[in-house]
Structure formats: C-alpha cells, structure tokens
Homo-oligomer: A and B are copies of this chain.
Amino acid sequence: MFENKDTSRTSISTLGEFGLIDHLTKHFKIAQKSTVVGIGDDAAILDFNTKKQVVVTTDLLVEGVHFDLSYMPLKHLGYKAVMVNLSDVYAMNAEATQITVSIAVSNRFPVEALEELYAGIQAAAVTYKVDVVGGDTTSSTSGLVISITALGQVAAEKATRRDTANEGDLLVVSGDLGAAYLGLQVLEREKQVFRVNPNSQPDLEKYTYLVERQLKPEARKDITALLAELEVLPTSMIDVSDGLSSEVIHICKKSNVGCNLYEDKLPLDPQVINTCEEFNLDSTTIALSGGEDYELLFTIKQDDFLKVKANPHLSVIGHITKESEGTHLITRANTKIPLIARGWNAMEEKE
C-alpha cells in the first residue's frame, strides 16, 4: 500500500535503531504515578500501589495472520494492538497502567508509516491513560510484527480469574457480539471487488458499525468501571477475543463447571442481523464463533441479578451448571446442543 503513496518518504536506515525509537516515542507523555522511569534505560522502573497486585499480559500480532495492511490503516492497527492487550487487563478487573511495544519491520516501510502506527499507539495510550514504558524496534525479513505487553494493578480481592465460576452463577456479556467478524467479511469482500475493478468506490455506509468494530475496537474499561459502580464483583471474567463459545468453554473448563447458554439471549446489533441475512450467514453462529469482539464475559452470583438486569450494556445470556451437565446452547426451538469452540484461531486459520 505504501508503494503508491505520493508523500515523501524517509528510509528507516537513516535513523538507525536508537534514533528510530527516540523519534517514534518522543511525544509520549507519562500519565501514571506508578511510572518512575519509562523509555530509555535497560528496563522501565515502576512503583505500584503497595496494596495492589500487578497483572501482566502479552500479545503478538503478525502481518498476514492477524491483520492485512491492504485494508487496515496503520494508525488503526496501532490502536487495535493496544486494545487487544488492555482488554486482557480489564478482564482481570484491573486498571491498565503501562505497556511496552516491540515491533519488527522490513525496510519496505518508510519512517512515516511507523509514525502512523505509533500515532495509533499513542492515541490509545492517551485515551486509556496507560504509559508506554519500553520496547524494542528491529528489522524483519518479511512482514510487520507487533508485540505488546500490558501491565496493570488490582486489589487482590478484586482480581477476576477464569477458574472461579460457581454452579448457579449467571453468565453475563457486555455489548453485542459478532460485529467485528462481519466487519472483516465486508472488508474482505471489498478487497476482492477492488481487485476486479480498481476504480470501484466501496460503499460501506450500511456497515459502518461492523467496520468500526473490526478496525477500531475499544477495550471495555467502561464495563469494569460500571461493575464497580453497580457494586457487582464478577465471580470469574474473560475477554471475548476468540469467539463467545470458545471463551465460555474456557471458563467452564478452568472452573470445572458446565453451563447453559440461551440462543435468544445473545446480544446482536441490527447491522449484524441484516448483514447476516445479506451474506446468508447464521447470526447465532457468528455471535458464538465470530471473535475479536473484545467484550467482557463474566459470571455473577444470582443475588446480583437485579443490579445488572435492566442495564443496556449488559446481557444475561445463561447460567453455570454442574460440570457433569456439560456446556450447552439452548436454541430458540428449545433444543439443547453441545457448545463447540470454533473460535477464530490464528494457529488454525493457516491450515
């Protein structure tokens, strides 16, 4: 995509490794009290609230596997790469505080392209108040690789793990499901159309929500804040990155419980329903297996039901059962079918 750009371009090699890091991070500001030393030493130094625990999570994004630069603008990619990690921190019910960002990039990328990528990273850091405290920039023999590690802090008694759901708990999900996956299908279709007719202008107006969910997802920091406000402490929590059914099964396996999930309770945006009809796809399958929603899936005690019941951001979609009852979807026709983890899986995608 850069080959066609008309703007002047700067070769990465003119800056060198150290120059490049300095150049890309010079506008980054520190927002967290816990950041003592950020970028520029062997390691960052952090001083956390002594009463809290530290959480750490990491994700690796590979060009051609996790993203396609032909329709993913670099600024959006930088933003999304941060969201993917923050989503994991929020899934622990923690406050995200710092990130490190490492990239491997081939020389076909001009410095201006990396500036775009870092502009997205910075936008995410500023919006979510996390400090970029380190990283590594190196060359790649082929595509772009982005590795982000996120740190956060949480009071020990408030950390929400995956393995602590109990029989009788209610299963709740934030927002709606399947839109990001459909956004990807829309973008893939436009890419094919563009290949056949490079003069065609994509009309994405019908799909704005879907495309935005794919290109600019938001990690649900607001949901952890909402839960605190509602005085609901989830008994377990996970973020929905690989698809709802895959995440439900994770919680059940790790917690040694089963569950019943109700098809008619799955939250779907009208654009998801309409586009599923247009693409001749089953919306339940998309909601269960779509992936990249970055919503939060959690379990709560039955006593907390009234606190979440009428909330427009939360949907009660099922309940936790004994392990021996297995993990099932109860369909609209009241049939009980086993849940299958057929999530979006970067490793299996390549088969």
CA–CA, A314 and B156, complex, Å: 43
Judged by a CB distance under 8 angstroms, whether A57 is at the interface is: yes
Judged by a CB distance under 8 angstroms, whether A7 is at the interface is: no
Chain B, residue nearest A89 (CB): B43
Let me know if B60 and A17 touch, CB within 8 A. Answer: no
Judged by a CB distance under 8 angstroms, whether A185 is at the interface is: no
Could you say which of A12, A58, A64 has the most chain B C-beta atoms within 10 Å of its C-beta?
A58
Judged by a CB distance under 8 angstroms, whether A161 is at the interface is: yes
This chain: copies in complex:
2
Judged by a CB distance under 8 angstroms, whether A128 is at the interface is: no
CB contacts (< 8 Å) of A65 on chain B: these are: 104, 138-141
Let me know if A347 and B17 touch, CB within 8 A. Answer: yes
Let me know if A53 and B36 touch, CB within 8 A. Answer: yes
Q: Which of B12, B40, B50, B60 contacts A147 (CB 8 A)?
A: B60
CA–CA, A51 and B145, complex, Å: 37
CB contacts (< 8 Å) of A133 on chain B: these are: 56
Let me know if B102 and A58 touch, CB within 8 A. Answer: yes
Judged by a CB distance under 8 angstroms, whether A256 is at the interface is: no
Let me know if A55 and B59 touch, CB within 8 A. Answer: no
**A89-104 interface code vs B (CB 8 A; 1 in, 0 out):** 1011010001010111
Chain B, residue nearest A350 (CB): B139
CB contacts (< 8 Å) of A193 on chain B: these are: none
Known A-B contacts A54-B47, A65-B138; the reply to A42 vs B238 at CB < 8 A is yes
CA–CA, A135 and B147, complex, Å: 10
A235-260, CB < 8 A from B: 237-239, 254
CA–CA, A103 and B58, complex, Å: 11
A157-184, CB < 8 A from B: 159, 161-163
Known A-B contacts A104-B145, A139-B347; the reply to A57 vs B44 at CB < 8 A is yes
CB contacts (< 8 Å) of A91 on chain B: these are: 42-43
Let me know if B46 and A136 touch, CB within 8 A. Answer: no
A75 CB, min distance to chain B CBs, angstroms: 21
Let me know if B346 and A139 touch, CB within 8 A. Answer: yes
CB contacts (< 8 Å) of A156 on chain B: these are: 36, 47
Q: Which of B37, B63, B152, B347 contacts A12 (CB 8 A)?
A: B347
A142 CB, min distance to chain B CBs, angstroms: 4
Q: Which residues of A contact B (CB under 8 A)?
A: 12-13, 16-17, 20, 36-37, 40-48, 50-51, 53-60, 62-66, 87-89, 91-92, 94, 98, 100, 102-104, 107, 133-143, 145, 147, 149-152, 154, 156, 159, 161-163, 237-239, 254, 345-351
Cross-chain pairs A/B with CB under 8 angstroms, 21 sampled: A13-B350, A13-B351, A17-B345, A37-B159, A41-B92, A42-B57, A42-B89, A42-B162, A42-B237, A43-B152, A46-B54, A47-B53, A50-B51, A54-B54, A54-B151, A56-B133, A57-B100, A59-B102, A62-B141, A62-B145, A66-B138
Closest 5 CB pairs of A and B: A43-B57, A147-B147, A50-B50, A17-B347, A42-B91
